[in-house]
Chains A and B, each alone.
Chain A
Amino acid sequence: MDFKAKRPQKEIKYEELRIYTDEELHNYSEEELKDFKIKHDIPMLEELEKGPWPSFVTDAKREALRRKKLPKERMMIDPDVVDDLLGQLELSFVDGETHWKHGGIVGVFGYGGGVIGRYSDVPEKYPSVAHFHTLRVNQPASKFYRTDYLRALADLWEFRGSGIFNMHGSTGDIILLGTTTEQLEPLFYDLTHELDQDLGGSGSNLRTPSCCIGKARCEFACIDTQDLCYELTTHYQDELHRPAFPYKFKIKIDGCANGCVASIARSDMSLIGTWRDEIRIDQEAVRAYINGEIEPNGGAHSGRDWGKFDIQKEVIDLCPTGCMTMEDGKLVINDQECNRCMHCINVMPRALRPGVDSGVSILFGAKAPILEGAQLAVLTVPFMKAEPPYDNIKELLEKVWDWWIEEGKNRERLGELIQRKGLPRFLEVIGVPAAPQMVKMPRTNPYIFWKEEDVPGGWKRDIKDYRLRHKR
């Protein structure tokens, strides 16, 4: 599907927005870097540079050296900001506690999210990081970038901030680490007016929705994840920028059950592409896999000789629901039993493809281990069509929000509210009937408390009589 922008798009000449030339930025040699010492002693941090892995300490030193050699008048915040950042971190390692104060009043005009106040509690020692605010920048769907855009953004951040980026935060945003309060409004202006780039979500609001690479490059994608992500981002701008939720709310969209953005574990509302017809089978291609004419797994495990491909051992026996068999040389799938583990499709992508009647499974309530333990999302809607303008998905989401805003305690995630009130209550609120797919083992764990009106004919129960035989 072609991209349709929600508002007129202006052509941006990113090269014209550059602040530095490449030569100005490539202003040190590797030799210089070896001999370079930042202005504080950081022996504990330097331990992190040892070993085989790339180190953020080395990256930060590079940036510190670059800033030392850039003309001072061409940076709006202190050139020593990276030195002081490392210095304060070393102190935190020594003390075993953070030296950032908790929270603050920082924002840009009209926005309640996107800027996170960070203040040092030892500003006299590390004056350049007395203010070191974070900005979240709304990433494009699937994180496709043009290099000239990234250069323009990096230049802007070198000019108005510390030059330190984090690509990407857990929510998906581009994270700009460290600037002063004075630079926030000019930076926001440049981002929005010059780069046509919005801030993302932070605080008690809708966090920047994120999605996998989707139909842009992936043959498994059952839905246009980018379109849905863009639609939800633009439709819920007020929820994204002006916080009034009990706590954070994350939406992530996976195109299929391979779950490349791990929405099932990381989002309050997880949308996962699926199908409700049958897996498409190309029997000739199945035979070609069996005969070794096509490499399994798209050749992903070809670095070592694993022997001849054995469809029985490598696919059929590994099916978690045992719904596959070979009959008369043909692969047969009992699609009713398929639980979308994706293994067979991943192993034989030329032979097996997801069905064509596609939509999303919707799960709610995943979260990381703050307050209560980590939890995965619970399958709530086994199948829903996902087609523009996605009114069915929005309607469901708004019902969930209404309930959570009404019933949720301060700092209570949706998943915690569902646990506190019970899944049956949640289903009642959103008007979805209970289904076996919502339960891990429906035959051994009924999970749902039946109400009398749910059961044809109801039942009679004399509680007094029961108590005669069963003490409390």
Chain B
Amino acid sequence: MMEEIKQAILEFAETSKKSKFYFKDLEKAVQAKIPDAKMRDIKKAATELVNEEKLIYFSTGSTTMYGLKGRGITEDQ
């Protein structure tokens, strides 16, 4: 299950219109593919992907978004 969720997250991260997205958008995209995926599992999967350095956090200080490493702005701007 966890691997499926991770795969769904990566697919969304690769194909989403914007290169940075809110957690909520991520959650909706995963649940469209895996309807019984729970929010907490999606968060765990996203955390694992961050730890595997496949996803990155993008933060303005007030809001945090997720992004795919290597897509859009990834280095120091």
Contacts and interface: CB of A to CB of B under 8 A. Distances in A.
A, B: real partners: yes
B22 A116 contact: no
A117 interface: yes
B35 interface: no
A117 to B, nearest CB: 7
A204 B58 contact: no
A405 B59 contact: no
Nearest to B72: A105
Nearest to A109: B51
B41 to A, nearest CB: 11
B24 A102 contact: no
B77 A203 contact: no
Chain A: interface residue count, which band? 35 or more
Contacts of A406: 39
B65 to A, nearest CB: 8
A243 B57 CA distance: 9
A105 B67 contact: yes
Interface in A399-427: 405-406, 408-411
B57 to A, nearest CB: 4
Contacts of B59: 103-107, 112-113, 115-117, 202-203, 243
Chain B at the A interface: SS class: mixed
Contacts of A117: 59, 61
A242 B51 CA distance: 11
A38 interface: no
A244 B43 contact: yes
A431 interface: no
Contact of A101 (B46, B51, B64, B77): B77
A204 B50 contact: no
Nearest to A242: B47
B23 interface: yes
B51 to A, nearest CB: 6
Contact of A112 (B25, B57, B75, B77): B57
Interface in A88-130: 101-107, 109-110, 112-113, 115-117, 119
23 contacts: A102-B60, A103-B58, A104-B59, A104-B76, A105-B57, A105-B59, A109-B51, A112-B57, A116-B59, A116-B61, A134-B61, A202-B62, A202-B64, A203-B57, A203-B63, A204-B63, A243-B23, A243-B57, A244-B42, A244-B43, A246-B23, A248-B63, A410-B25
Query: Which 4 residue pairs of A and B lie closest in terms of their CB atoms, listed nearest first?
Result: A203-B64, A103-B60, A116-B61, A243-B64
Interface of B: 22-25, 39, 42-43, 46-47, 50-51, 56-64, 67, 73-77
